[in-house]
Structure 1
Amino acid sequence: MPALRRCRGTVDEYAAVAAVHRAAAERDGRDLHSVLEPLPDAEAVAALAGLDQRVVEADGRVVGHVFLTSWLEEDGTRVILHRGRLHPAYRGRGIGTTMLGWAERRAHALATTATTTVLGANAARAEPAATALLLDHGYAPALRLGEYRLPADAALPGTPSTEAEIRPVTDPTDHGRLWDLVELAYHGRPAIPVGTPAARRRFIDRAASMTWLAAWQGSELAGCAGLAHAPTPHLTELSVHPAFRRRGIGRALLLHALTHARRRHPANTDIRLWTNLAGPQRAYELYESVGFQLTEEFVRYRKPMPA
C-alpha cells in the first residue's frame, strides 16, 4: 500500500528522489537539459530539506515526491506552489491524486487570513497526465513560459547600431543598479514576485558569477542583459528601461550577449533562455528572429484557495 511519509534526509533517499524525477521526465519525453526546470540531482533534492515535503513509498522503495514553496506577488497575492513527481511504473493507481490532496491540505494549513492566497502548480506540455490531473481538480492556466535553445551552428545576424553604448559591467557596485532596472522593467506584469531585500541580496550575490552587459544612454542605465554560464550558457535576463524601449537596444544587447557566450564556451555549445509566451511584449519574437527554437512549453496553473 503506497504511503506518504517524511523524507528521512539521507544521502540514499535524496538519490532515490532524484531518480524518480529523472524517470518521470524520461517517460514524458521532457527536455532533460532544461534550464527553466532542471532535473534535480541528489544535491538539489537535499537543498529542499527546509521545505514542506513528502515522499511516497511503495513496495519498499521511493516512488514519488511532492513539496511546497510560496512567495508574495506584486499585487499582494500569496502563491503556495506545490510540485510533485511520480515514477511512471506507479501511475494510474490514484497516487498522484493522493499527493495532490496532501499538498492542498498542507497549503490550506499554511494560509493566513492576512493575504489573498491561491494554490499554484506547474506542468509542461509534455506531461499530459499531470496536466489532466490539475484541470480535473479546478486549476486554470495563468502563465505560459517557453524554453528556447540557439543551436551551436546557428548563424547570428549582424548587431544593429544603437545610440546607446553597450559595455560589460565590471564594477560590482553596479549590480544594485541592475536589480533596480530589472524590477522596474517587470513592474505591473502578472504573476511576478514582489521584490524584497532578500531577493535583492540573492540577485547581487548571483550577479558576481555571471556576465552582465549594460546599455548606457549617457549616465542613464537604459538596459541590461545577464548571462549565466552553468550548467550551460543561458540568458537569464534581458531588460530595457521603459523610457528607452523600441530603439533597438534590446536586440543589440541580446546579440552582444550571444556573441560573448560563443567566445567563452566551446563551439558545439547551445545557448538557452526562457520567456513568457503570452506577454504583451512578445519577446519570443525577438528571440526567434535571431535563431532561437522553442524546445518546451511550461504552464503555470492557479486555483483559488478552497474555503
Structure 2
Amino acid sequence: MSDHIERLPPGYRGRPVTPADARTVHRLVTDCERDLLGRTATGLDGVAADLASPEGEPAPDALLVRAATGEPAGWAWVKGRRARVQIHPGHRGRGLGRTLLDWAEARARQLGGDRLSQSVPDSDQRARVLLRSNGYVPLVTEWLLEIALPAGPRPPGPPAGITVRPFRPGDEEAAYRLTEDAFDEWQQRRKTYAEWALLTVDRPTFAPSASPLAFAGDELVGAVLSADVPGTDEGYVERVAVRRDHRARGIAGTLLRGAFHAFHGQGKRTCTLWTHTDTGALPLYEHIGMTVRHSCTVHSKVLAGAQPAGAG
C-alpha cells in the first residue's frame, strides 16, 4: 500500500482509513455529491457501514488523502470486486484521480481480484474519461428514482392470499434469506448475514415501520426494507424483493405503496430508491409513479496479473 501512497502529487499525503474516519470521509463524499448532483445522497451510517468489518469478515481497504492544509482531498475504497474513488471538487485536475485509481487496482490485484468495478455519476465527465482511458468499459446503468409523497388515502390491500405487516424484531433471518435469494440473480457474491445486517437492519437509520413484509400463510414472500435519510424530508428504500414463485401478482407494488404511505405519515415528502439494468425493475417503479432523479454507470475492468487470494 505504501508504494502508491508515495506516488501522490507533491503536497499530498495519504494513509489507511479506519472506521473512526467515517465522519471525515462522509464530509468528503457529500461535498462531491453536492458538486455533481446538487444535493447529498449518502448518510453517515452508509459510510460507516462501508468502512466497518462484520465479525469474521475481511475489512475493506481504503485510503484517505489530505492536502498540505490538512483538508481531505480524496479517498479510495476497495472491497472484493468493487471500488470507489472520489476527489474533492477543490482538488480535481491534479492527478489524484489517476493515482488513487492505480492504488485501487494494485490493491485489488494483491487481494486476488480478477476484476474491478466502480460506479460514477453520468454527470462526472472527468471520471468517465479517466476510467475509459484506463481500460474500463460500461457495464450497467444505475438510476436513483424518486417519488413525491402527497397526502392520500391508504394504499389498496394486498393480492388474495397475501397478508402484509411492518417489519418487527425476529424477522431478520427470514428477510435476509428472501432478499439475498432474490439478489442472487444478479449480484456477484452472496453476502453473509453479518455483512447484510450491517448494511440494512443494523443501521441506525433503519425504519422498520416503513419496511412492510408480505406473507403467504406463515412464509415470507416479499419485503421492502427502508431507511430514514437524516437531515432531510426523504425516506429511502434499501431493498425490494419478492420470492420468484410469487412475482407478477402486484406484491412489490403493494409493499412500495405501503412504505410510501408510512413515510408520508412520518412527515417525509419524498422517497427514493436505487435500481439498475440487471434487475429489470425500472418499469415497475415507473408504473407506480417514480421518476429518475439522476443516473450512474458502472464501469468494469479485467485486472491482469492478479495474485492468488491470500498472496501478498
The CA deviation at 1:172 is 2.1
The CA deviation at 1:47 is 5.0
Give yes or no for contact 2:78–2:108 (8 Å, CA) kept in 1: no
Out of 258, 283, 299, the position equivalent to 1:301 is: 299
2:195 corresponds to 1:195: no
CA distance in 1, matches of 2:243, 2:142: 22
Q: Secondary structure of 1:243's match?
A: helix
TM score, norm. by length of structure 2? 0.76
Structure 2: where are the runs of 5+ without partners?
1-9, 54-58, 306-312
**Cα shift readout 1:66-91 (whole Å, capped 9, x = no counterpart):** 222313xxxxxxx1x33222233332
Match of 2:4 in 1: none
Out of 15, 29, 40, the position equivalent to 1:33 is: 40
Amino acid at match of 1:152: L
2:23 corresponds to 1:21: no
CA distance in 2, matches of 1:22, 1:173: 34
Q: Secondary structure of 1:178's match?
A: helix
Give yes or no for contact 1:166–1:215 (8 Å, CA) kept in 2: yes
Cα RMSD (Å): 3.4
Where do residues 1-307 of structure 1 align in structure 2 (5 Å cutoff)? 1-6=10-15, 18-28=26-36, 30-34=37-41, 38=42, 44=48, 51-62=60-71, 64-71=73-80, 79=81, 81-111=82-112, 117-153=114-150, 159=156, 162-169=159-166, 171-189=168-186, 191-202=187-198, 203=200, 205-206=202-203, 209-211=207-209, 212-231=211-230, 232-263=234-265, 265-266=266-267, 269-276=269-276, 278-279=277-278, 282-307=280-305
Percent of aligned pairs with the same amino acid: 23
Q: 1:134 to 1:166 in 2, by over 3 A?
A: same
**Cα shift readout 1:110-162 (whole Å, capped 9, x = no counterpart):** 22xxxx62122221112111111111101112232211111233868963651
Q: Secondary structure of 1:214's match?
A: strand
Tell me the number of residue pairs that the alignment of Structure 1 and Structure 2 aligns: 284
Amino acid at match of 2:227: A
Q: 1:156 to 1:234 in 2, by over 3 A?
A: farther
CA distance in 2, matches of 1:153, 1:271: 11
Q: Secondary structure of 1:233's match?
A: strand
Q: 1:180 to 1:58 in 2, by over 3 A?
A: closer
Give yes or no for contact 2:23–2:44 (8 Å, CA) kept in 1: no
Q: 1:299 to 1:252 in 2, by over 3 A?
A: same
